[in-house]
């Protein structure tokens, strides 16, 4: 079993910024980002996988909230 990675605030800021630009990071871009943040490519890959899952869940929740009709008293 792997040890859970605790990302620093700086790493999270960089990862979130990259995610805002592109939800997928592959190849050279992933290698450069991992090197810059002193993380493995696998850690970056898994972070992006998890972030996409979170993004999709938030998008679904946002859509369902818009369709709910509040009950009027």
Q: What is the pLDDT of residues 37-69, one digit of tens each?
A: 999 999 999 999 999 999 999 988 887 665 555
Set out the domains of the chain in order of their start, with CATH numbers.
9-61 (1.10.10.60)
How far apart (Å, rounded) are the C-alpha atoms in residues 66 and 61?
9
Question: Quick one: pLDDT at residue 71?
Answer: 55
On whether the CB atoms of residues 33 and 25 are closer than 8 A, the answer is yes
| Distance (Å, whole) CA 50 – CA 61 | 17
| pLDDT value at residue 42 | 95
Q: How many CB atoms lie within 10 A of CB 11?
A: 19
Residue 12 has pLDDT above 80, yes or no: yes
């Amino acid at each position: 079993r792997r040890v859970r990675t605790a990302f620093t605030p700086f790493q999270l800021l960089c990862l979130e910024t990259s995610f805002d630009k592109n939800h997928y990071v592959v190849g050279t871009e992933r290698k450069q980002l991992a090197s810059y943040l002193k993380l493995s490519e696998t850690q970056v890959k898994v972070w992006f996988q998890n972030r996409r899952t979170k993004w999709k869940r938030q998008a679904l929740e946002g859509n369902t909230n818009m369709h709910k009709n509040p009950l009027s008293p």
